[in-house]
Structure 1
Amino acid sequence: MAEIKYLEINADDRSIIVPAGENLLGVENDNEGARKYFRCPKIVGDGIDLTKSDVYINVQNASGEKSGKDRYTVQNMTDSGDNVTFEWVLERKVTSHKGSVRFAVCVREKGTEREWHTTFATGNALEGEELFEPAELEARGQDFIGILTSDANADANSIESGKSAYVNGKKIKGTLAGENDIKATTKKTELSSNPITIPGYGQSMVPVLKHTIEVSLADTNKPVLLKGDAKKTVVYDEAGSIYGDAKASDVRIGKTFTSSNGVKITGTLSVSAKTMKGTVTGGGANAVAFDTGLKAISCIVIMQTVTSTSDTGIIALLHQNGKTKGIGNSYSQYLKTSSTSTGTIAINGGEVTYTPKNGAEVTNMVNGKEYTWIAIGE
């Protein structure tokens, strides 16, 4: 097979570079006897992607007449990295007259009105010998062709793209394509269930979300091989994995969860508690924060290392299950009383922050006083 010589498209100056020897398009009245190969950047202009576009070769044959103009859909569009390649099969109209033939590439982005064009290049159709001249052939054959095709009623939209037919003596090229966007509309979503057998557990029902979707052509007026308001209803179940993928060994003992099969399971994970101990200095009316070194805290006790009855402030605090309890001492020259009023304890991972109640001195951690803390967690 001979080496393929590509006609290169320069996307910057819009030119078509024709290699030596490739400007010969054929001899008069050749029909689909030759093809030309093109290479072009995949993205041209303002982000137009050739693989998402219709690409044509626009032609003016050597007759110079308006009737000598035509458009041909390229074939075998292939994505090759940053470039694409495609082919143009030369039909009879291109070479129907000897002389210089002009051709250019036209790109139409699908679903928009955006177009991108090259400037024209030229090729040659050489003189040949045909049984009839084009004008004579038309005069002799048109009536006969018209008689043979007078009962045909096809139009371009009913003939597949790339095919042609004669209707009432005229050749018609098909535009019926096989492409059309599909539109999917969710009509209903409902909770349902499917039966399942779980090893070591038995028969159960798996909860699922059942979706009912109507699928139809996005453009019912576009000429396609499947025409009209064709609809299809699809029902499918969403997998039970929406409920998670944890196993009993991943969840603490006594806690329950929903498995990937939608079954309620009790956890078996045993977590060993850790105990940490330390001291912190009271800050009076200011918040006091310290790190226990644990990843999580289930319980913490904070108490004065050495208790003094002459101080006003918190003596001891207990924080467990999200609740804080404590006892404080209120002292004056004539009266000493106990109080259960406390501030708040906030826990973030292994960090503890105690904030006294605003304006209540008895809830303060006595300024400068040492407190011992004991934390239980993991």
Structure 2
Amino acid sequence: MAEINYIEINAENRSITIPQSEKLLGVENDSKAIRKYFRCPKIVGDGIDLTKSDVHINIQNASNKVSGKDRYNAENLKVSGENVTFEWSPLRKATSHKGAVRFSVCVTEEGTDREWNTTIATLNVLEGEELFTEKEREERGSDFAGILTADATADADSIELGKSAYVNGKKIEGTLTSKNEIKAVTKKTELSSTPIIIPNYGQSTMPVLKHTIEVSLADTNKPVLLKRDAKKTVVYNEAGSIYGDAKASDVRVGKTFTSSNGVKITGTLVTSEVKYGTITGKGMNGQAIETGLSNVSRFIMARKFPSSNAKHGILSLVYKDGKLSGIAGFIGVGYNSVDNHSIGTVAINKGTITYTPKTDEEMSALTEGDTYDWIAIGE
């Protein structure tokens, strides 16, 4: 490979120094036939970094007409110590006329309005012979356009509405708009997690629903134009079944869930939990029963196989809606229904039931030594 001779840029006085070997830009109508190499300090002006900027070569061809102006993007920009190097390969417009081609280097900092420029330097284009003169191009414009655009493949739907282009010698008016819609279909939904930071604790995870979505054009035969501030609204059709199909009446009262429409709903289902067991009566002493429930709403207790020495006492108790009633038995006499007159009291503390016989009322006692079956219901 031949030695590279760099065109040097002086960041202090903005001048461009061109080695003698590099002063020829080419012959008329050359296109991508030559490559020029530049070297410039990495930092120019007031701290403008070329590696964080757009670098251009601005040219005026030898026609000296406004139509002869053009701008090229610098190619292959690389850092080399305190400098950067980049390249320029001119197209036909730069060499379309013989004579002096004026050019300068322009640096525009990304994200700001700051711009740094060099002064003008010149390269020479030698006289050549083209198939058509400028006058002949005008006279045979359509034929010439056909030659230059014979391999173009654009159609009306790939050119923006209001713009035009030549394809195979014919002018095409664009029809591409932003009217086509985008649709989204959920292909898969699964439980996943995402990392979170909890203050005074550290990193943890939060459960999330992970959706796998397929996005496609509503009309697959028509492209979509997204330009500058243009936005597309994605219609997100999601199967409600991924949230479940429960109704409020299927979920326990006080608990919440997500409906098939993704709405938070509070359950209305009233559920009952039942526990049962046996105790042995302790006469006039109070007795506590641990039911194992979180709360007791109803309670039933009945004496089982009364002993022969049982002269009197509670045969059964019923606790419902905050009220207590029962039946007391007598040996040789029968039984009576009892309530506030000859019955004790029940205290409910969550799942614990405590029955206390009424003072001086042996009828309210749980007969000592007898077995009592009990059933507790919680809601």
Same fold (TM over 0.5): no
Query: Which of structures 1 and 2 has the bigger CA Rg?
Result: 2
TM-score (norm 2): 0.43
